[in-house]
Homo-oligomer: A and B are copies of this chain.
């Protein structure tokens, strides 16, 4: 951590500040420049609250030169982390496609879609039971009943299930869900992250619409710090000024996360652009950028889906996409678990 001091400070103030740092086992090395004096802080600065420093009256600015996350940091865990999901493992060279409808709507719907996406090569089944919707007047999901329908589809197909949680009070309902998803809007719902850190279950953590990769890793750190090391990250588009796509898929996040962290990372091309015709090029680009997997929406009847239709593929479109995705994954040297 590097602290820039204000000009014209008194020596006594500086000494007090350095003493206060020393009390916290942090050493401060002084560098006096022409116009500016800076302090280089040495010690376990990741534990320091940067705001604690910023508020000191003689401090002009503070800059971290070290990442604020530890358990998610590749520096301290050089090897890729594998997240086990049922018979599969996500990360470390394995490639998986998670697929299913945006919302679970009926037994027939989820079973039909599950059978089709499994046949096409998807290994995990996704489906929303609790749905975060901008409008209180929109369909909010089948909730507990939706979870039952997912379990039913799992029994039929053998596919592990992935579904989103929105509130800590629902955790008991998710006990036998295989992968719990934290949606973009809850990426900084810290109370939820803390609770999920106490589970022994993979968590699929989606990047918030306007969160940096560092913030995503800090949210992962909440889960890891609680003891749950099975975290899978997901890039799903960020909010920018561009209006032609719903969000802007940030594929540079993939190599960035791979460099900064040991956690697996997948991409959601369906929600990123919000346009079904863009799923194919974005899927291929995501694999080429190094993603460990994809999560793709498929609906058996997109014209009458109750939510998020425009971004969903039909099963036939998914059948056409999967061979291309698999070929790209193989071209990129990934193992396709089946």
Contact = CB atoms under 8 A, between A and B. Distances in A.
Contacts of A29: 29, 31
A65 interface: yes
A121 interface: no
A24 interface: no
Contacts of A252: 245, 248-249, 272-273, 278, 282
| Chief secondary structure at chain A's binding surface | mixed
Contacts of A22: none
A30 to B, nearest CB: 9
Contact of A190 (B44, B166, B288): B166
B51 A40 contact: no
28 contacts: A2-B38, A29-B29, A31-B31, A32-B42, A33-B66, A36-B66, A46-B137, A49-B306, A51-B309, A54-B310, A56-B309, A68-B134, A132-B190, A136-B194, A136-B218, A140-B190, A238-B240, A242-B250, A242-B253, A249-B250, A249-B251, A251-B251, A251-B285, A252-B272, A254-B281, A282-B289, A288-B328, A327-B331
A172 to B, nearest CB: 12
Interface residues of A, number: 110
A307 B244 CA distance: 25
A189 B252 CA distance: 28
B188 A167 contact: no
B278 A255 contact: yes
Given A167-B191, A255-B281, A289-B281, A52 B242 contact: no
